[in-house]
Amino acid sequence: MPSDKKQNSKTINLFTAICVVVANMIGIGVFTSLGFQVEGIKSGFALLFLWIVGGLFAICGALAYGELGAAMPRSGGEYYYLSKIYHPLVGFLSGWLSVTVGFAAPIAASAMALGAYFAHVFPAFPPKAIAFAVVISVSLVHANTVKFGSYFQQALTILKVVLIIVVIACGLCFTEPQELSFLPSGSDFNVIFSSSFAISLVYVTYSYSGWNASVYLASEVEKPEKNLPRSLIIGTLIVVGLYLLLNLTFLRTTPISQLAGQLEVGYIAANQIFGSSGAKLMGLLISFGLVSSISSMVLAGPRVTQMIGEDIPLFRILAKSNYKGIPFYAILLQLFLVTVLLISSSFEAIINYLGFTLNLSSFITVLGVFVNRLRYPDAALPYKTWGYPVTPIIFLLVSLWILVFIFINKPIESLAGIGTLIFGMIVYFCVAKQPYQDNSQI
């Protein structure tokens, strides 16, 4: 690609990149997972500590990804990094996960939650029908132009953040607090090292997933060497702050007994804060907020598919853009996969499956920070991981612990993830008969 054309294609500024990270992170998890956590944990301190641990985990990951994104500013995320750092097979498997489930499954899960919230407000509308309608509509929006999609993403993200701030402000200022202490006690130590805490941490880390979202759009980001690390770090810090305050609000305003085992935690808490009429309005607004999450993933996901199409001749059709420069066929493929998941899967099955596969991919990528420095000691690093080597080691240790725990407690979902990788390996060796092409020009 000529350099002037490549420069003109960089239509995503720092603000939009931050919006993509924030929107990708703030999805269904924070509005749904607390109901599962309070079933096994009754301590206010331990529940908030969950979200602190998850936030530190996400920040450490964002710091490491910032180094790789600045050093290798090409769209594709893990697919491109792992191909360069390890071997094209490793990169392909990561890209295979992203294409098959990494984006399609979270989009489907978000759409399911959106449908559930919307159905509370308008019971006449079937949740699955709402989910399908939103996914198709958002896909059409991002099949227009990158500039239009960027404005769409910015507006939805601002709406979502404003909504959360309103809920936090009203919940903390205008309601009577529940009898739940958020100060640590002697029994909290045992709770933090319990199996309930470990299981809940899986849900929390899923809620924080998306902190790496802007790296998938690197080729279209202005000044990626600076803006990619900034977008990852700023976006993640914003979400960590919002998550802590939002969960504090949920726990402070709503009895644990009402939250336990419930999916629509945001709706239940809104009922406590605003009453039944206000809760319906909040349910509607949360639904629109989830559109922002779906939009950010629809925007980012096809870029991974497009990069694979550029590098591997068999998938070249997926690299083709329409006359507006949009990876149209990649968007269609993602829409098809989301449709299959909406028809065939449950919300909880998707979350458990993603917990293993997403952590495995990010673990190998953050490990790649060490490998990249060892293999290419003279390579330029426009940004170096803050706190290296401590912060990436923290991420790797927590991630490894989560992987082992998920595998022991959710063996079927974990084996399904491994099966996805094995199938991807078979596909790779079939297409490897054709020459692998690295079409990057950085």
pLDDT reported for residue 231: 95
Residue 384 pLDDT more than 90? yes
pLDDT reported for residue 383: 92
pLDDT reported for residue 219: 84
List Cβ neighbours of 130 (8 Å cut-off, separation of 6 or more): 111, 114, 115, 118, 119, 287
210: which 2 tokens?
A: 């998306």
Per-residue pLDDT band at 442 (split at 50, 70, 90): very low
Classify residue 419: in a domain, yes or no.
yes
pLDDT digits (tens, 9 = 90+) for 392-437: 999 999 999 888 888 887 888 888 888 888 998 998 888 765 544 5
- Residue in this structure with the two tokens 């390890």, named with its chain if needed: 86
What CA–CA distance (Å, rounded) separates 112 from 105? 11
Minimum mean pLDDT range among 105-119, 278-292, 397-411: 278-292
pLDDT (mean) for 35-59 = 91
Q: What string of H, E and C letters represents the secondary structure of the chain?
A: CCHHHHHHCCCECHHHHHHHHHHHHCCCHHHHCHHHHHHHCCCHHHHHHHHHHHHHHHHHHHHHHHHHHHHCCCCCCHHHHHHHHCCHHHHHHHHHHHHHHHCHHHHHHHHHHHHHHHHHHCCCCCHHHHHHHHHHHHHHHHCCCHHHHHHHHHHHHHHHHHHHHHHHHHHHHCCCCCCCCCCCCCCHHHHHCCHHHHHHHHHHHHHHCCCCHHHHHHHHECCHHHHHHHHHHHHHHHHHHHHHHHHHHHHHHCCHHHHCCCCCHHHHHHHHHHHHHHHHHHHHHHHHHHHHHHHHHHHHHHHHHHHHHHHCHHHHHHHCCCCCCCCHHHHHHHHHHHHHHHHHCCHHHHHHHHHHHHHHHHHHHHHHHHHHHHHCCCCCCCCCCCCCCHHHHHHHHHHHHHHHHHHHHCHHHHHHHHHHHHHHHHHHHHHCCCCCCCCCCC
pLDDT digits (tens, 9 = 90+) for 183-229: 888 888 888 888 788 888 878 887 898 899 889 888 888 888 999 99
Report the alpha-carbon angle 329-319-77, nearest 5: 105
Classify residue 437: in a domain, yes or no.
no
Query: Mean pLDDT of all residues in the chain?
Result: 85
Classify residue 436: in a domain, yes or no.
no
pLDDT reported for residue 240: 95
Classify residue 254: in a domain, yes or no.
yes
Residue 244 pLDDT more than 80? yes
pLDDT digits (tens, 9 = 90+) for 124-183: 888 889 999 999 999 988 887 777 878 888 888 888 888 889 889 998 888 888 888 888
Classify residue 14: in a domain, yes or no.
yes
pLDDT reported for residue 54: 93
Residue type, 264: E
Per-residue pLDDT band at 377 (split at 50, 70, 90): very high
Comparing 389 with 115, which gets the higher pLDDT? Answer: 389
What CA–CA distance (Å, rounded) separates 259 from 40? 12
pLDDT digits (tens, 9 = 90+) for 260-283: 888 778 888 888 888 877 777 777
The total number of residues written for the chain in this structure:
442
pLDDT reported for residue 352: 67
Per-residue pLDDT band at 297 (split at 50, 70, 90): confident
Classify residue 381: in a domain, yes or no.
yes
Classify residue 440: in a domain, yes or no.
no
List Cβ neighbours of 429 (8 Å cut-off, separation of 6 or more): none
Of the candidates 81, 41, 42, 31, which has an alpha carbon nearest to the alpha carbon of residue 61?
Answer: 81
Classify residue 424: in a domain, yes or no.
yes
Domain count along the chain:
1
- 221: β partners: 12
CATH number at residue 270: 1.20.1740.10
What CA–CA distance (Å, rounded) separates 233 from 418? 30
Domain with 105, as residue range(s), is 3-431
- 12: β partners: 221
